[in-house]
Amino acid sequence: MRIYRDYKAVPATAKGASAAIGNFDGVHLGHRAVIDLARSAADAPLGILTFAPHPREYFAPDAPPFRLMSPAARANRLAKLGVETLFELPFDADMAALTPRAFAQEVIADGLGLGHVVVGRDFCFGKGRAGTAQMLEDFGAEMGFGVTLSDLVAGNGGAVSSTAIRAALSQGDVRGAAAMLGHWHRIDGTVITGFQRGRELGYPTANMSIEGLHPPRFGVYAVLVDVLSGPHEGQYTGAASLGVRPQFAGEQANLETFIFDFSGDLYGAELSVALVEYLRPEETFPSLEAFIAQMDADCVRARAILAAL
């Protein structure tokens, strides 16, 4: 997949794509429907037009983290769906100042040279979100690109959206989130050095930061683990603790994953951890012995859940 981050410097060979436009946070079933429409709407390379950072992060930088995935994880997921070209444009003051007409003309038509675009019917764009999907249709007819409007995708609980997925994760309902995503919710990142307490307790863990991401409900999960780099590359199962480690008076939230039947050094490796089932909330215990006994029970339960997949 080719990635371009400057709409003013896109080569002629990358123009003419049929592109879905949106933020694609989580790359859920609704997003996939839009991507499939872009794939079938025109006989052209499949593209995505999106932004980094997310516009919400630009306008409210101090708001609580809300992203379901990092830009890198999003790019990896989109590549797996067959996206050939990713236009990941910086959302900055210049981009925010573009009127709907200027965005359509300067970015879509002239800069990226898109032949066809697909957006949801609730799509808004341009300064002050003043542009509508219907306006984009009119601009396309005027400026020479096709426009297809996609209906919202409905799930069992209503419309599929990143907001609904965040709500499910906040409740620990990872299977409900997965039903809307079309895949397990994953936390991707680099294994960092922790306090190594797990090793002393007989449960060495691979620690990952969740900074910048919407935090699922704190607690213990049954997980699937993909080691994406290094000598231990492969797929594993395990149990993970997500939160601040109240047993040890922790403050910074992270993800600590114990991989079953594994022995090796994962520091610096890239991991993708899928949350499969919420087991219990974070707790404090009267002794380390009681804490270890609970971890033993968590792992027995996690193994049974994962074996049944």
Question: Is 211 a catalytic site residue?
Answer: no
DSSP classification of residue 13: G
Q: What is the pLDDT of residue 250?
A: 58
Report residue 198's pLDDT band, with 50, 70 and 90 as the boundaries: low
Q: What is the pLDDT of residue 193?
A: 84
Question: Which tens digits make up the pLDDT trace of 220-273?
Answer: 999 999 999 999 999 999 999 999 876 555 568 999 999 999 999 999 999 999
Q: Work out the percent of the chain whose per-residue pLDDT is above 90.
A: 86
Backbone angles phi, psi at 253, to 5 degrees: -70, 140
On the question of pLDDT at 200 being above 90, the answer is no
Question: Which tens digits make up the pLDDT trace of 145-179?
Answer: 999 999 878 766 677 899 999 999 999 999 999 99
Question: Domain 185-307, what architecture?
Answer: Beta Barrel (2.40)
Report residue 196's pLDDT band, with 50, 70 and 90 as the boundaries: low
Report residue 117's pLDDT band, with 50, 70 and 90 as the boundaries: very high
Tell me the mean pLDDT in the region 55-79. Answer: 95
Whether residue 78 contacts residue 1, with contact meaning beta carbons closer than 8 Å, is answered with yes
Which CA distances in Å does 67 have to 57, 157, 182, 217, 221?
Answer: 9, 21, 17, 15, 20
Query: Residue 147's beta-bridge partner residues?
Result: 117
Superfamily of domain 2-155: HUPs (3.40.50.620)
Note the Cα 2 to chain centre separation in Å.
Answer: 19
82 is written with which tokens? 């067959």
On the question of pLDDT at 199 being above 80, the answer is no
User: For the chain, what's the residue count?
Assistant: 309
On the question of pLDDT at 277 being above 80, the answer is yes
Q: What is the pLDDT of residue 186?
A: 97
pTM of the model: 0.91
Which member of 57, 84, 142, 256 is catalytic? 256
Distance CA 65, CA 187 (A): 14
Tell me the mean pLDDT in the region 99-103. Answer: 98
Domain regions of the chain by residue span: 2-155, 185-307
Distance CA 225, CA 217 (A): 19
Backbone angles phi, psi at 62, to 5 degrees: -100, 5
